[in-house]
Chain A
């Protein structure tokens, strides 16, 4: 079965711009989570969506937002980009069967802010 698909793979943006990243989960997975990975901070949780509802949010400023569509695909948006937003953004999908298992990650979108 197809894995988690993230698009685009690479992005270069200028400070102050905004960006939208996309994630298509594994078929049948209804939970989608987003993580930011940087050399300095490692992997950090951004937010999690299930059935179009945000259920959990990490400690990131309001410039980071997301949404989920009825087909479980998810997008995240970062507005007013800062240099420090340069990172690998990873999406993970899971069954969310109540046991907290089965997080599968995509290959990520590498965002560079210049």
Chain B
């Protein structure tokens, strides 16, 4: 697949545990952030987003935290399931720029 050969950091968790995936973003002016999940052979799938005027946003089983001071994003997945196994990317942009800048990705492996 597209991520084969790329040395991605890997997070290995047990089914049912909570997962935390971290991302450092590059542009302090970025005001919109997105987490994507990419499974083998597929395009990135939207998980959750957050604007820079927030520091936390929750979805179904997922929470995104934004720390603008240190330019850090995290994705928390509650009760991780085998179907959550994938590569996770954070992306940042600035309203009006119309282009996403992606992080390098983290591979999540869920052990049954």
Contact = CB atoms under 8 A, between A and B. Distances in A.
Given A43-B89, A100-B32, A101-B49, 12 more contacts: A4-B43, A33-B98, A33-B100, A39-B2, A43-B100, A43-B102, A58-B99, A88-B2, A96-B98, A100-B94, A106-B43, A107-B43
Contacts of B46: 102-104
B2 A33 contact: no
Interface stretch (B3-11, B20-28, B56-64, B75-83): B3-11
A98 interface: yes
B111 interface: no
Interface of A: 4, 31, 33, 35, 37-40, 42-45, 48, 50, 55-56, 58, 87-88, 90, 92, 96, 98-108, 110
Contacts of A98: 95
Interface residues of B, number: 31
Contacts of B99: 33, 45, 48, 56, 58
A40 B105 CA distance: 12
A105 B96 contact: no
**A35, A92, A103: most-surrounded residue (chain B CB, <10 A):** A103
Main SS class of interface, A: strand
Contact of A37 (B2, B93, B100, B103): B2
A54 to B, nearest CB: 10
Nearest to A88: B2
Nearest to A103: B100
Contact of B41 (A4, A99, A101, A107): A107
B26 to A, nearest CB: 13
A101 B98 CA distance: 9
A100 B43 contact: no
A92 B105 CA distance: 18
Interface in B44-89: 44-46, 49, 89
Nearest to B93: A100
A96 B42 CA distance: 23
A43 B100 CA distance: 9
A50 B2 CA distance: 28
A100 B41 contact: no
